[in-house]
Amino acid sequence: MAAPTGELTSSQKVIRRIAILIGKTPPAVLNVLAGAPTNNAGARMAPEIALLMKATAAGPDYSDHDPVDARAMTDADIATFADELPPLDLVEEFELPGGLAATRYRASTTPQGLLVYFHGGGFVLGNRASYDAPARLLAIHSGLDVLSVEYRLAPSHPFPAAVDDALAAWEFAVERAPEWGIDRARIVVGGDSAGGNIAAVLAQQLRGSDVRPAAQALLYPATDFSASYPSHTEFADSPALSAKQIGWFLGHYIPQGTDRSNPRLSPIQAKDLSGLPPAVVTVAGFDPLRDEGTAYANRLADAGVPTRLLREDGLVHGFISFTAISPSSRDATVRFANAITEVLSVSRVG
């Protein structure tokens, strides 16, 4: 696997230092500097996030470029703001069947289970290297091993490649778990954004299997590509994830003529959600995907699935990548990791 951040350029180092200093500035001062907006629900954006959004809005938009150039742009941004974390007990790389790859992170000599994690990036962007810091952070604060999966990306590999790869990764994890000293009944599936979509779909596909996920951990997941929600309109111009960028992602991922209500694309459209593993769902208050994530959590709960919904009212889409510069984002990520541990502690699926 490529180095998670590589050697930063001089300008990236300067930007990183400034951003970290901003994150350490007292909130009262930042509120004056940032002029943080308020959403329709009355929540105020975290001030360090508001400043980051202003800077992002003034910069280039990856959706104006082809996927190759867009990946280079977003990888550079992630490298600039990647969290610095202590060494882990183990970081191990694997080649999976079908040419896939994954990295396992272990922060504890006695892991409480395994999180099979699928990164975000709209099914087009992202990789294990760009998600190295989030995977480490989740491993440290959940007490679980984290298996970070590098699934195939669109447009070279459109739907359903990613969800097919997720099933292959699950089968690999189930096979290897005993070798890693992990009970197969304590394997969680999870992911953020597109990765949350993949994890939700995988949890549905595995219903009724001999070995099922002990829980599903969904961080600002995409759950419905077939309908419009109020947050889509409210945050259509969000620098973190705009309507234009969503259209760019889906144009690459979903083949023309595909039924967008297919539950393998839009897991909220499944007729029956009963019998699925317990869920942790985190939504961000300034995220266009907020309402569909909330709707999916509500549907799970209505179907009798033990569900914990975490609302991070002051944050935006993608906050798991802002933890080095945003204390609010780091705190929210730690809450997400802790919630996974708590749900797993009372979950007994298998």
Residue 119 is a catalytic residue: no
H or E stretch covering 233: helix 230-234
Q: How far apart are CA 74 and CA 125, in angstroms?
A: 8
3-state helix, strand, coil in the chain (%, to 5): 45, 15, 40
- Using an 8 Å Cβ cutoff, are 291 and 318 in contact? no
- Rounded to 5 degrees, φ, ψ at 101 are -140, 155
Among the options 287, 313, 329, 347, which is catalytic? 287
List 193, 238, 242, 347, catalytic entry: 193
The reply to whether 232 belongs to the active site is no
Of the candidates 277, 91, 264, 96, which has an alpha carbon nearest to the alpha carbon of residue 173? 96
Residues in CB range of 311: below 8 A, 6 or more apart: 282, 283, 285, 294
- Which of 142, 317, 326, 328 is labelled catalytic? 317
Which helix H or strand E contains 146, and what residues bound it? strand 145-150
Q: Is 317 a catalytic residue?
A: yes
| String of DSSP letters for 158-200 | -TTHHHHHHHHHHHHHHHHGGGGT--GGGEEEEEETHHHHHHH
Rounded CA-CA distance 30/35 in Å is 8
As annotated, the active-site residues are: 193, 287, 317
